[in-house]
Structure 1
Amino acid sequence: MTKLNKTILPALGSGLVGATVLTALHETARQFIDEAPRADILGERAIKKGLKKAKLKVPPKDELYFWTLGGDLLSNALYYSLVGLAKPKHAVLAGATLGLAAGAGAVGLPGPMGLGTAPSSRTTATAAMTVGWYLIGGLATAGAYLLLKRRLR
């Protein structure tokens, strides 16, 4: 295996693990917790807004939901894969930092972006869950990264 593959594969694989953990948290919690963050709603709004701006047809709601899940998984996996820029001994710090930064962005950016604030920060509990779940995703990414780096030595 080339040196490049030993660097890129653990980063991308661990990013996908973190994104999957984050999405599973969002999707499960929204079924049971009234104040749970609604990343699905933010994603749907973002996709609709982009398609309308590009003068493209917006898919039906059920189809839009799957576009949103796919977009969330892809974008979060690529974002969390930035953990690969850190040395393995700093992976946990990098994962936590990435998670906290993403959580803060998910709380603070939707309003200025015209996507509304309720899905990620309608209550203090909603905002705390948003940040906490992105942090968990970052920590899951770090754990997966360390495991994959060890396996690919």
Structure 2
Amino acid sequence: MNKVTNLIAGFAGAVALNILHESLKNKSSNVPRVDRLGEEALGHALDFFGIGGKRGKALYGPTLAGDLISNTIYYSLIGNGNVKNVFTRSIVSGLAAGMGAVTLPKSMGLNPEPVAKNNQVKVLTVAYYLVGALVTATMVKAFRK
């Protein structure tokens, strides 16, 4: 499978992840708020480069774009290798991304609460990333037929 189709499959997974998150983020206080984590991270990056001041809703669009780009690239790696193992790779990749989202924020100086405030939010965070990975694997399989 070539890089372009891997990127298309990865983009489908990234879009699925973001649709899931955007659809559910305001439904309960016990769902992940990956957007808040991303906005905080982008705010810190802007501060580092001396472009402070922007926070909250002003960072929503750029954070969403960055999330789509980074998840597209990450998920596109699922398409590398033998199609026979694509679902195994997607499960491992999805679980790794989700676990990273839950466990890394604190060590990166970010507030982990939006993705790890309780066990339900942690499990859902991991599940969101797993869904994106499985959508990617499904697209990879479809492209290879």
TM-score range, shorter chain: over 0.9
| Partners of 2:12 and 2:139 within 8 A in 1 | yes
2:132 counterpart letter in structure 1? G
SS at 1:19 equivalent: helix
SS at 1:35 equivalent: coil
- 1:137 corresponds in structure 2 to 132
* Alpha-carbon offset, residue 63 of structure 1: 2.9
| Partners of 1:10 and 1:149 within 8 A in 2 | no
Aligned with residue 120 of structure 1, among 112, 115, 119: 115
Q: Does 1:32 align with 2:27?
A: yes
With the length of structure 1 as denominator, give the TM-score of the two structures.
0.90
Aligned with residue 13 of structure 1, among 5, 8, 15: 8
With the length of structure 2 as denominator, give the TM-score of the two structures.
0.95
1:1-153 maps to which residues of 2 (within 5 A)?
6-59=1-54, 61-150=56-145
* CA distance in structure 1 between the aligned counterparts of 2:57 and 2:113, rounded to whole angstroms: 21
Residues 91-116 of structure 1, C-alpha deviation per residue, up to 9 Å, x if partnerless? 11111111000000000001110111
* CA distance in structure 1 between the aligned counterparts of 2:94 and 2:36, rounded to whole angstroms: 20
1:117 counterpart letter in structure 2? P
2:17 counterpart letter in structure 1? L
Q: Name the CA shift for 1:23/1:92 in 2 (closer, same or farther; >3 Å).
A: same
* Alpha-carbon offset, residue 7 of structure 1: 1.2
SS at 1:86 equivalent: coil
SS at 1:56 equivalent: coil
* Alpha-carbon offset, residue 62 of structure 1: 2.8
Residues 70-127 of structure 1, C-alpha deviation per residue, up to 9 Å, x if partnerless? 0110000100001122211111111111100000000000111011110111000000
SS at 1:112 equivalent: helix
* CA distance in structure 2 between the aligned counterparts of 1:94 and 1:10, rounded to whole angstroms: 17
Q: What RMSD in Å do the two structures reach over aligned CA positions?
A: 1.2
Q: Structure 1: which 5+ residue stretches go unaligned?
A: 1-5
Q: Structure 2: which 5+ residue stretches go unaligned?
A: none
SS at 2:106 equivalent: coil
The alignment covers a number of residue pairs equal to 145
